[in-house]
Structure 1
């Protein structure tokens, strides 16, 4: 349980997509711990209820809104409308976190898999942002936070398609900052490094942790670190931060790893 720790987001409302587990739930819990009313969203109602219970049990405020962001404009617009209703007609913070990561090589990727990856990872947040931003402008401003990835810039042998979708989201971060900044909306992104999933208690039982060997952190990160970064970007502490991709990756992309 993560108790209320501050008031940096007091009076704010937030929608976090894909927030029923791992990084998404950590972001939802962190925003709520700073006073935001959080709309938890995803496909799994039971897991969504668990996240809401964690938040409310710690003294925060949250509600679950189910959504299957399949990339269709209709699904994104439906979530925007439902979230606005649940939030009392105002959304101050949008976190585009939902995404999929099939570890598949280029030669093994068929057209259906290609289209599904771009639909969920790029089209869904694109049309959701388009649906939410007008209400933010009407209410005087807001914050959009996208999720990128370290492998958008530091390539790995498998995952080219996923990397390209995250590169698209990082590019959209800069483009949206230029487009929406003049209307009082700050747009930034978080680029997580190797984050140990919640089902792994320690690096020893998480094979992906080996990717952090030789880095300054020398270990996989925790989702709570991504939540803390989201709080920073959502709050007035980052009022002069626009169009930035914040690397939260233990130095993986910034420091040369000597094998």
Structure 2
């Protein structure tokens, strides 16, 4: 087991599957005590059992982040208690993605997506960042998306929430950085874990990119370890693209 995050504590939201799970597992493998948070107690238990079996330290805190300040504060308080009194690293990963076109999106869906994707991390950060500052510092990592800056004809609502999160990242870096709390974001590209031998339809979105393929959750987790650790001590307010070159290089149709 590596020790890049030895002695650190971390809260990862939406950590019972996909990217969030990979981040929680990577943090634990680097020595951090991780709170895995999500809606499903069964999936959460599976994640922490796996981490513990590999010698890591993890606990599950169930939370339904509905956008209310109360829900975010309750999670922060319980995670702080479980982690022994402090949170050194916060990963705002939980989110929902409806792919409906704009004309088919109703007001209830609009409000729900903004509640989960923007309001929940806003109020969680509002609770955790001042506590980090008081304790001497910390790191906050938000999850953006490549489609926040490169328009595609589906998911306009989701992409707008991720644009908000990336803007908040820069604003929070300015607000909390002078107090010792670094705030950065990761912008994943097309990241999925297809079954062996399966060709996923999303592969088409990566044709002609430098990577030429979809990414895996581990790629995002590796970036999160970097942004959480001391190696990135001089990194504030950045949005780190981990997207196989999808947004930074010309895509050549093939």
Query: What is the TM-score of this pair, normalised by structure 2?
Result: 0.98
Q: CA deviation at 1:125?
A: 0.2
Matched, 1:122 2:118: yes
Give the match for residue 239 of structure 1.
233
Cα distance in structure 2, aligned partners of 1:252 and 1:59? 36
State the partner residue of 2:39.
Answer: 43
Distance 1:249 1:93 in 2: 23
1:149 to 2:145 alignment? yes
Correspondence for 1:159 among 145, 155, 159: 155
Within the alignment, does 1:74 sit opposite 2:70 as a pair? Answer: yes
Query: Structure 1 residue 204: deviation in Å?
Result: 3.6
Q: Distance in 1 between matches of 2:8 and 2:153?
A: 41
What displacement does 1:202 show?
A: 4.4
Number of equivalent positions: 253
How does 1:1-259 map onto structure 2 within 5 Å? 4=1, 6-197=2-193, 200-202=194-196, 204-259=198-253
The 3-state SS of whatever aligns with 2:102 is coil
- Give CA deviations for 1:156-177 in whole Å, capped at 9, x if unaligned: 1011110000000000000000
C-alpha displacement of 1:205: 3.1
Residue aligned with 2:23, SS? helix
Distance 1:135 1:203 in 2: 47
> Does the 8 Å contact 1:196/1:203 carry over to 2?
no
Q: CA deviation at 1:137?
A: 1.1
1:134, distance to aligned residue in structure 2 (A): 1.8
Structure 1 segments of 4 or more deviating over 6 A? none
Tell me the SS of whatever aligns to 1:191: strand
